[in-house]
Amino acid sequence: MERIKLAEDLSFSRLVYGLWRLANWKQSSGQTLDLLKYVYEQGVTTFDHADIYGSYTCEELFGVALAKEPSLRQKIEIVTKCGIVLPSPQRPNHKTHHYHTSKSHIIASVDQSLKNLQTDYIDVLLIHRPDPLMNPEEVAEAFETLKKDGKVRYFGVSNFKSDQLTMLQSYVSEKLVINQVELSPLVLENIEDGTMNACLENRLVPMIWSPLAGGKLFSDMSEKGVRVREALTEVQKEIGAGSIDEVAYAWILRHPAKTMPIIGTQKKERIQAAINALQYELTLDQWFAILHSSLGHEVP
Amino acid sequence: MERIKLAEDLSFSRLVYGLWRLANWKQSSGQTLDLLKYVYEQGVTTFDHADIYGSYTCEELFGVALAKEPSLRQKIEIVTKCGIVLPSPQRPNHKTHHYHTSKSHIIASVDQSLKNLQTDYIDVLLIHRPDPLMNPEEVAEAFETLKKDGKVRYFGVSNFKSDQLTMLQSYVSEKLVINQVELSPLVLENIEDGTMNACLENRLVPMIWSPLAGGKLFSDMSEKGVRVREALTEVQKEIGAGSIDEVAYAWILRHPAKTMPIIGTQKKERIQAAINALQYELTLDQWFAILHSSLGHEVP
Amino acid sequence: MERIKLAEDLSFSRLVYGLWRLANWKQSSGQTLDLLKYVYEQGVTTFDHADIYGSYTCEELFGVALAKEPSLRQKIEIVTKCGIVLPSPQRPNHKTHHYHTSKSHIIASVDQSLKNLQTDYIDVLLIHRPDPLMNPEEVAEAFETLKKDGKVRYFGVSNFKSDQLTMLQSYVSEKLVINQVELSPLVLENIEDGTMNACLENRLVPMIWSPLAGGKLFSDMSEKGVRVREALTEVQKEIGAGSIDEVAYAWILRHPAKTMPIIGTQKKERIQAAINALQYELTLDQWFAILHSSLGHEVP
């Protein structure tokens, strides 16, 4: 599988496996390990976490599975995130859903993630959401400390807009390598508001969450949803794809910023759809037909 | 006529002549040549094209006229654009209205423009619209190749917003010299969304399309249209201008970014109105009265 | 009181005293001097003016009071603004409310402010509003002249958005030190549109006008107003503050950009509320609870 170079000594697989819903799948650690190995055998070596996924439980479920086959760690890249504080049965002292990006919180969050994931290092740590109270000097200090201590190799952000990206980067000495953002044929916000351009300008790669709009690509019965599904189906026929999600992945992969879609399913059929998409390069006619179906009109 | 310096060896006349509607005018090539010479004699030496104008026919009509008097070429500056793909009887293989900014497309488009315009070089080539699929590295390579080959002297963009401008510029080694944007007393978008400021920040000059809002300045019967016309008429009386379009041009010319309005008419009377406007410098009272008429309220 | 360093030889008190309403208070110059001295004794050394406050009368009222105790001048910092032209009985030749940021206007405005304020120098001069006709080269020249002549020590802006800030800064050789913007629990615009981030990115400090939303914090009966007041009251109880305005000031002071709220009241009780706020550091739970009350929903 194609690999995307993020730094001199770091590359990700073009497709990333997301563990967002791992807790929902109610698997044994053996089943989880089998799934990870299956994904890995397809060429997907990059795994996306956040401290809060599964209400603070997914990292640990992954760590327990990984501990069954420790040699896997060196062959994969682990991304995790910090900065959201969530009320949760696992965190009874959390009162309000809020952000926390102080130096001490970032470092404590990473320490907990390392413990949960049963690993010595995170490949890339992301600030999960732009925090209106983010003190960029503190974040920069936290990043330096974590790098120096070997706990995190590289740093990035998630859901950051252009102003937040350039502001934080101006305080952080090392180049941020990732901005994880939402993009799908149904959700164009980050194309329309300049975030994708900001990624290109700042030379950081967008990881794409909800490439299938969290399943709405299949189920959204709004006018827009129906229109987009029709356009995807049309292109599916033209290219001989097996399903519309293949087309959606191919649509995202066509973007010049080297988008890395996150696969969020444990179903092998759906994982395979993402992998199949790598073989297609949509024509511009096809790409814009899908764009137009989402916009509801042609580009000017 | 005042000239605007865009580079060490390139300047444009303050007013630019636009060939957007050339095909609509149904002129013989002799009539077109006469018109070009008339415009030139007024001091307007810069001519604005795009590959797609007149559904891909305007460049050629201009080229045929120019070929009747080849000595004119060295005395004028030619701008053209690329990057839009339009379904058209002239391009039966075009299916969907879309953008195309690959290296090979840009170069092929310029080659066709050179042939149509019957010239060896374009003075400034613009990317016509911000393409969500624009690969800035490819655009930069295309620009370098075209410059090296002597086919295009300088480069710019059209309808680019701030994020698109700075992103592309960060990949293109040579300074972009133009951003062609819409501006008129009726259409303030590029003032309000920061695009005019981005032009000033990036030191590139805005060429202004639809300075009369495509004629709506005279005909728009909405509340806003009526209000703007009243404000223009008021100022017309104060300065003794011949018509409200003179005031509209003077309003645009007052902007500090050295705006270069594009004249899009073949009627000598209307061409003269644009030229007359150069003599007026609106007072701030006048300029803001027109702004307020368009906003529907005073500035804060 | 905490001081905020703006330049090697310039610092402001964390709280700033605003003279916006000085004319409304109908005080004798003796009463005004007493008020200034009272404020100064609380540690507030920075005083915020604009040429137009009180319809061009506030600077002079302040100057007359200051002249009664000239030794005070060296102990305080004076901010004033220019760039708005207001119809006013004091300026019968002003016709339209507009902006004026030409070199000659800026210099003339400062000369008048120096005369009104009965001082030899302004500590920081701000451009009051982003002027769509601002010629940044002229503004830069005006700043250089004023600095060279010792009339103004440092420069800044007011109500500038990100694009306006970076554009002007790119022309002005000296670093701008202030952006005076509106912020309160009721008015989040400058957080939401990236202006606060732009301040952090450009390393300039936001002075905050209307920290109590011009009194609406107490009186706004809209759903949002009621919600925010409830959230402020809740936090007031938690921290044992005397009133909700203390909480509002503390909420603003919590921002990492070293926000400097402007106190706009002559009532000692309300001045004291602002000073009291300096002792509180809201928890993140408290800060976000107030944010959520204003947004009407939690952060994502």
Which of C179, C173, C225 has its CA nearest to residue C202?
A: C179
Query: How far, in Å, CA of C186 to CA of C291, rounded?
Result: 9
Burial status of residue A283 (CB atoms within 10 A of its CB: 0-12, 13-18, 19 or more)? middle
Query: How far, in Å, CA of C63 to CA of C69, rounded?
Result: 10
What's the CATH code of the domain at C102? 3.20.20.100
Q: How confident is the model at residue B58 (pLDDT cuts 50, 70, 90)?
A: very high
Residue A179 has a pLDDT of 98
Query: How far, in Å, CA of B111 to CA of A262, rounded?
Result: 41
At A43 the three-state DSSP class reads coil
CA C194 to chain centre: 19
Residue A57 domain-assigned?
Answer: yes
- pLDDT per position as a tens digit, C55-82: 999 999 999 999 999 999 999 999 999 9
Residue B169 domain-assigned?
Answer: yes
Distance (Å) from the alpha carbon of C288 to chain A's nearest alpha carbon: 6
* Side chain identity at residue A224, one-letter code: K
Residue of A135, A137, A163 lying closest to C194 (CB–CB): A163
Residue A253 has a pLDDT of 98
Which of A20, A10, A145 has its CA nearest to residue A81?
A: A20
Do residue B99 and residue A284 have CB atoms under 8 angstroms apart? yes
Sign of CA dihedral C133, C136, C138, C143: positive
- pLDDT per position as a tens digit, A201-230: 999 999 999 999 999 999 999 999 999 999
CA of B51: how far to CAs of B59, B79, C275, in Å? 7, 10, 65
Residue pair C181/C190 in contact (Cβ under 8 Å)? The answer is: yes
Residue C151 domain-assigned?
Answer: yes
Do residue A129 and residue C287 have CB atoms under 8 angstroms apart? no
Query: How far, in Å, CA of A268 to CA of B75, rounded?
Result: 67
Residue C14 has a pLDDT of 98
Report residue B78: phi and psi, to 5°: -110, 125
Residue B288 domain-assigned?
Answer: no
Name the stretches of chain A with pLDDT < 50: none
Residue C23 domain-assigned?
Answer: yes
Residue A76 has a pLDDT of 98
Residue B217 has a pLDDT of 96
Residue B85 has a pLDDT of 98
DSSP A58-114: HHHHHHHHHHTSGGGGGGSEEEEEE-EE--BTTBTT--S-EE---HHHHHHHHHHHH
Angle at which helix B58-67 crosses helix B103-117, to 10 degrees, equals 40
Query: How far, in Å, CA of B119 to CA of B125, rounded?
Result: 14
Residue C73 has a pLDDT of 98
Query: How far, in Å, CA of B37 to CA of B39, rounded?
Result: 5
Give the residue on A whose Cα is nearest the Cα of B131.
A299
Q: Which residues of B touch A (CB under 8 A)?
A: 85, 95-100, 129, 132-138, 159, 161-164, 166-167, 170-171
Residue A234 with chain B: CB contacts under 8 Å: none
- pLDDT per position as a tens digit, C129-171: 999 999 999 999 999 999 999 999 999 999 999 999 999 999 9
**C87 token code pair:** 């119809």
**A279 token code pair:** 């073989």
- pLDDT per position as a tens digit, C13-71: 999 999 999 999 999 999 999 999 999 999 999 999 999 999 999 999 999 999 999 99
Residue C149 has a pLDDT of 98
Residue C231 with chain A: CB contacts under 8 Å: none
Residue pair C214/C245 in contact (Cβ under 8 Å)? The answer is: no
Q: Which residues pair with A260 in a beta bridge?
A: A207
Residue A299 with chain B: CB contacts under 8 Å: 97-99, 129
Q: Length of chain B in residues, anyone?
A: 300
Q: How confident is the model at residue B77 (pLDDT cuts 50, 70, 90)?
A: very high
Residue B291 domain-assigned?
Answer: no
Q: Count residue pairs from A and B with Cβ separation < 8 A.
A: 54
Distance (Å) from the alpha carbon of B199 to chain C's nearest alpha carbon: 9
Residue A135 with chain C: CB contacts under 8 Å: 256
* Side chain identity at residue C228, one-letter code: V
- pLDDT per position as a tens digit, B132-177: 999 999 999 999 999 999 999 999 999 999 999 999 999 999 999 9
Q: Which helix (H) or strand (E) holds A18?
A: strand A16-18
**Average pLDDT value for residue range C100-121:** 98
Residue A260 has a pLDDT of 98
Q: Which residues of A are catalytic?
A: 53
Could you tell me the residue range of the domain that residue C105 belongs to?
A: 3-182
Residue A85 has a pLDDT of 98
Q: Count residue pairs from A and C with Cβ separation < 8 A.
A: 54
Beta strands A77-82; A84-85: pairing state? unpaired
Chain B interface, best mutation among A201, A235, A251, by max B CB count within 10 A? A201
**B174 token code pair:** 């040579």
Residue A92 has a pLDDT of 94
Residue C194 with chain B: CB contacts under 8 Å: none
Do residue B98 and residue A284 have CB atoms under 8 angstroms apart? yes
Query: How far, in Å, CA of A283 to CA of C184, rounded?
Result: 50
- Listed in sequence order, the residues at least 6 apart from A36 whose beta carbon sits closer than 8 Å to its beta carbon are A17, A47, A62, A65, A66, A72
Residue C79 has a pLDDT of 98
Give the residue on C whose Cα is nearest the Cα of A99.
C284
Residue A264 domain-assigned?
Answer: no
For chain C, how many structural domains are there in total? 1
Query: How far, in Å, CA of A155 to CA of C298, rounded?
Result: 26
Residue pair B180/B158 in contact (Cβ under 8 Å)? The answer is: yes
CA of B159: how far to CAs of B90, B180, B205, in Å? 25, 6, 13
Q: ipTM for the complex?
A: 0.95
Residue of C98, C163, C164 lying closest to B284 (CB–CB): C98
Provide, rounded to the nearest whole percent, the portion of chain C with pLDDT above 90.
100
